Structure 1
């Protein structure tokens, strides 16, 4: 039994009460069907009433009473974030050099290898083109 629009008590299933379909229940409660089902399983939501073999409805007075039991709670305060840990650097063959070791500039070495103190890199070996006979097909490999 809940209070009606005039302030009087409305009996569940009484002449002033209505059976609401799911679309209206969703509008009144703001819940999805699966959430309402889960709440029904734990006894925290009004049970539906079977209207016909394939149709159910909810008493408007029960939904109004259920809605009145809900309190407005603020969102939980988030915990402060932990300070991120420092990254662990792993030295590999491809790791960049340390700032104290300055990598030689490739263009400077190509222009003046004697200034870098290192020997100039050897040029890549040249491939000789084989001579082909007249009878052989040359594929250009």
Structure 2
């Protein structure tokens, strides 16, 4: 395989070239194995060379040429944070219902005085506590 970086073509597999195992490839490139595999799938990383049925290696010259073709990128400029959006209130079964007051005109002659405690909201009746037997533990719930 011949890779052409900026300096010209590089022949792989020459007498000075070495096959590197994955540990050395990781040290040279700084990539994880899965990232290197993804880059191989799109043709952006050198393909491994089969050394034996259970062993592969990468040509050192291909890796150095690959590194030379990569653009050195600086850190991206941070964008200013967007203003957070207003919270959206979700109506649920336990949401307090808005109080709607219906104003119906009542003739003054038929107006009836209501007791002072009639305006208090109705409360739910309390549940009766079940009696406990002597051999049962009472947790006080």
List alignment gaps of at least 5 residues for structure 2.
4-8, 100-114, 126-132, 135-141
Determine if the alignment matches structure 1 residue 84 to structure 2 residue 70: no
**For the structure 1 residues 65 and 96, does the alpha-carbon distance in structure 2 shift closer, same or farther, using more than 3 Å as the test?**
same
Change (3 A) 1:33 1:94: closer
Compute the TM-score of the two structures, normalised by the length of structure 1.
0.54
Paired with 2:94 and 2:50, the residues of 1 have a C-alpha distance of 73
Report deviation, 1:92: 7.8
Report deviation, 1:96: 9.9
Q: Following the alignment from structure 2 to structure 1, what is the Cα–Cα distance between the partners of residues 10 and 73?
A: 28
2:59 — aligned with what? 59
Structure 1 residues 30, 118: CA separation in 2 closer, same or farther (over 3 Å shift)?
Answer: same
Please report how far the alpha carbon of residue 22 of structure 1 lies from its aligned counterpart in structure 2 after TM superposition.
Answer: 0.7
List 4+ stretches of structure 1 deviating above 6 A: 91-94
Q: Once the two structures are superposed, what CA deviation does each residue of 1:15-68 show, in whole Å capped at 9, x if it has no partner?
A: 111100011101111111111111111110011111112111101011011111
Unaligned runs of 5+ in 1: 3-8, 99-116, 125-138
CA RMSD in angstroms, aligned pairs only? 3.9
8 Å Cα contact 1:19-1:59 kept in structure 2: yes
Indicate yes or no: 2:11 matched with 1:31. no
TM-score, structure 2 normalization: 0.54
Decide whether aligned partners of structure 1 residues 11 and 82 sit closer, same or farther in structure 2, where only a CA change above 3 A counts.
Answer: same
Q: How has the CA–CA distance of structure 1 residues 78 and 52 changed in structure 2, closer, same or farther, with 3 Å as cutoff?
A: same
Structure 2 CA distance for aligned equivalents of residues 41 and 95 of structure 1: 56
Residue pair 1:22, 1:57 contacting (<8 A) in 2 also: yes
Answer 1 or 2: higher relative contact order, Cα 8 Å, separation at least 6.
2
